[in-house]
A and B are shown apart, each in its own frame.
Chain A
Amino acid sequence: MASSYWDSTQRRNWTYTKPELADIRKKLEDSERVLVSQYPLPDRRLLSQYFAQQLQKLGKPLSVRQQALATAQIYIRRFYTKVEIRRTNPLLVVATALYLACKMEECPQHIRLLSAEANHNWPDFGPKEPSRIGECEFALIAEMNSQLIIHHPYRSMTELQSSFPLSQEENNLAWNIINDHYLTDLPLLHAPHLIAITAMVLAVVLRPQQSTHQVHAANVANALQALSNPKAAPGANGPGGANIQIRIQKLITWLAESSADIEAIVDCTQELISLYEVWDQYNEKVCREQINRFVKGKGLEK
């Protein structure tokens, strides 16, 4: 881990305990009681999945790198701890977060190009002109107090592999788990290296079965169990089981030596499990409609 994380604004100003985060959100909702009861919204993780999907749609034709998408996701999450979502046009915030993230991650996109792409994707509810993105950029930066530098687990994971190298398929799986964690509150709760360790642990334990990027809850539960009881590791009875068991034993030794905060890793794992559990309920149409209802109701798309 680069020494800079410990003094970073991310650690000092944008990392919370769970009760702190819950409190911030409660205060925000309490100040907008009528609005909140008038326009119910899906689970925050499902909304996050919707935003992630919209970011993908916007970013893909422009070949935006994953790290910029990840930064945009964190900007959106931070912004909505400061501003009630029902007071905003989320698609404008999504487009703006991506525009800003691309600049910060050194892969800038022209505001006109991005605006055109947004218009193409969301003709009715997206930002109509580049100037709207430019204006929203001011709001986004001001709410984040110009604290725009994000430390991601990707970098930590590369560094951690000098002491615990992953195979190609484990690495891919861990990478996907990191991508998934942006759908949860984990980026506001834990240091990036803990997320990276969690992703590595899960990838090693779950490794062979998964071909899709979606890891199933049951498997993760097994993984957790494996942490406390390596003999019960999944796959231990299947073909090559002995090898896997050795691998997991190595992992556990490495974890012990790394003096990482095991409690935090368990917490990260649980957050991910519950994400995968709730994931099945995701329905893009429902999210879109619920968002559109307040955007239209409050005339926020204009």
Chain B
Amino acid sequence: MLSGYTSKKRVNERYRIIGFISSGTYGRVYKAQGRNGETREFAIKKFKPDKEGEVQYTGISQSAIREMALCTELTDPNVIHTVEIILEDKCIFIVFEYAEHDLLQIIHYHTQQSRKAIAAKAIKSILWQLLNGLLYLHRNWVMHRDLKPANIMVTKAGEVKIGDLGLARLFYKPLHSLFTGDKVVVTIWYRAPELLLGSRHYTPAVDLWAVGCIFAELLSLRPIFKGEEAKMDSKKIVPFQRNQMMKIIEVLGMPTKERWPLLTAMQEYAQLQALGSTMRSSGRTRTLKDWWQTTMQNNQYSPGQGNSPGDEGRDLLQGLLEYDPQKRLTAEQALQHPYFTAGGEADKPSKNCFGSVKIEYPHRRVSQEDNDIRTSSVPGTKRSGLPDDSLIGRPAKRLKEG
């Protein structure tokens, strides 16, 4: 009967909640174990109704609908697998395969505990798998739009899986310009220059820029363009992200209309020119080559010891951090880059990013304070696509909200 929806599947009958992993604006994520002979572990993402304590059905948010639809549709070894979706008691539960690690956690381990760079071979494997997952998404007309280290999962077996499709969208012939849908996408540090400059017709190339940023971060262990976000003002006008653009120019130099012909058509072109002239007079622009050399030195990557991304790595990074989205490498082109294809069998990317490296990464932290998936409450707000992954911010947030 439609009078009174009752779920045929019940979360607590199928899963035993082990603990709480993290929370976001959408709701929270729990670690769980299967019941009834199912011994695998899972991550369950619970979406709360928009208003806390809502006793009536208010309609599911469009972003949750998108995520549910995409999660059930996509199947790829390098995209996190959705086991099932349960709709129960006005809440939505998306059940994912469990991944012990994510790239943010791994980077964090290398900066805080081991204080050593990530092995060049491991980075190659991570990037290879990440690009394969992205190629799959793009072939299926899906833009991720929020790639960042915290959203790239890594299993115990060293498989890399793209997670969190909360901002992902189909890009085949959208009914509205993609710009009108969500005004702000992608965490600012990983945001492509065309988005910072106000492009209305952006493309899957935004994901490749983010991959470039992640590649750089794996090598240097810190975000390559760590800008500060200019917040939306009271009139909800999206401001020019001056500081973020400046960080990019400091590493890559000014974009030019010779290399990026459509640059002058960008909404924020005037702002960029103003920024450029200030920066030129203070002599604060360099090239990616300088960044690369410094990083290779600081993190002791050396070809002599067989631990280096090599010149091919530098060239690939250059191709991913290409200003002009039309010239930027696609996922397919990136996978055919000599960084992956040149060299002998020993240089080929591995399907296990841990390979023979014996590092015991710490397991994902799970809090015991909130084990009741059905009653726990968290202020539910609509997701705005604002950044929530500062390196220090995460554990602190856990304590505060956990």
What residues of chain A have their CB less than 8 Å away from a CB belonging to chain B? 2-4, 7-9, 65, 67-68, 87-89, 92-93, 99-100, 103-108, 111, 130-139, 141-142, 145-149, 155, 299-300, 302
Contacts and interface: CB of A to CB of B under 8 A. Distances in A.
Interface in B1-30: 1-5, 7-8
A104 to B, nearest CB: 6
Given A3-B139, A4-B140, A137 B73 contact: no
A135 B272 CA distance: 49
Interface in B33-71: 56-60, 62, 65-66, 68-71
A9 B141 CA distance: 15
Contacts of B66: 103-104
B173 A131 contact: no
B181 A88 contact: no
Nearest to B67: A146
B175 A142 contact: no
Contacts of A105: 175
Nearest to A298: B1
Contact of B59 (A93, A104, A137): A137
| Residue among B3, B65, B90 with most chain A CB within 10 A | B3
A128 to B, nearest CB: 12
B85 interface: yes
Given A134-B58, A139-B2, A3 B140 contact: yes
Interface residues of B, number: 36
B359 to A, nearest CB: 36
B72 A87 contact: no
B174 interface: yes
Contacts of A142: 5, 7-8, 87
Contact of B56 (A8, A93, A134, A139): A134
A136 B2 contact: yes
Contact of B2 (A65, A145, A300): A300
5 contacts: A108-B62, A147-B72, A147-B73, A149-B170, A300-B1
A106 B172 contact: no
Contact of B65 (A87, A88, A104, A132): A104
B176 interface: yes
B55 to A, nearest CB: 9
B41 to A, nearest CB: 22
Given A133-B59, A134-B59, A138-B90, 11 more contacts: A4-B139, A4-B140, A7-B75, A87-B1, A108-B62, A134-B58, A135-B4, A137-B60, A145-B72, A148-B72, A300-B1
